[in-house]
Amino acid sequence: MAAKNIIKTYHLEDRIRTLKVQGLSDEQIANKLNSEDLEGKDSISQPTISRWIKKDRKLRAKTAQTIVDDYMTDSIPADLKLLDEITAFHLNVFRAKVSLKEKDGSVIEASDMSFNDRRIAARDIHAIVQTKMKFMGVGAGADDLDSGSPVDLSKFRTEEKAVNDD
């Protein structure tokens, strides 16, 4: 019987993954499977375990990448739309065209918008534009996309709501 078929024949896939996660070496896994799971019916070697684990990792990585790619294909357009909405809101704050409702219910009228409110809006717009450019692959930080750390958009969300001037 071919060595790779031993794993499938005796349904050892999950057992090997579990033992690997527990920190056992490939040789320890082979020894454990030979003594506990195969019980002399067959034998499996460390190189067989190593090859199977390598192949399994590649397959799982490919599957995970497909899932991530599909998610990004679906979520990025929605994220960009959200960024556009946030940018539009902050532009209106910067231009003093909206009133802001505070958490306590009080309203800051557009005409009373402070320089600091407008400065904060400008800073947030700048950060949003940088984020969009980064994900388009241009500008500072575009090469950092492989770092695995997603951009946290929560800092742009606010409980303040725009109140129409009408």
Spatial CA neighbour of 147 closest among 130, 134, 136, 129: 134
Tell me the pLDDT of the chain (166 aa) as tens digits. 444 488 998 999 999 999 999 999 999 999 999 998 887 788 899 999 999 999 999 999 999 999 988 888 888 888 888 888 888 888 888 888 887 788 888 887 877 778 888 888 888 888 888 888 887 777 655 555 554 445 555 544 444 334 333 3
**Whether residues 94 and 130 fall in one domain:** yes
Inter-axis angle of helices 46-94 and 115-136, nearest 10: 140
The pair of structure tokens assigned to 128 is 């949003």
Q: Where are the alpha helices (DSSP H) in 95-114?
A: none
The pair of structure tokens assigned to 139 is 């500008």
**Whether residues 39 and 114 fall in one domain:** no
The pTM score is 0.48
Q: Domain of 146? A: 75-163
Backbone angles phi, psi at 163, to 5 degrees: -115, 125
Euclidean distance between CA atoms 52 and 94, whole angstroms: 59
The residue assigned the tokens 């929560």 is 154
pLDDT of residue 48: 92
> Half-sphere exposure of residue 128, counting CA atoms within 13 Å on the CB side?
23
Domain count, the chain: 2
- Residues 66, 90 contacting (CB under 8 angstroms): no
pLDDT of residue 137: 75
Spatial CA neighbour of 96 closest among 126, 124, 116: 116
**Whether residues 40 and 86 fall in one domain:** no
Helix (H) or strand (E) holding 80, with range, is: helix 46-94
Domain boundary among 28, 61, 94: 61
pLDDT of residue 51: 93
Q: Is 19 part of any domain?
A: yes
pLDDT of residue 148: 47
**Whether residues 80 and 152 fall in one domain:** yes
The length of the chain in residues reads: 166
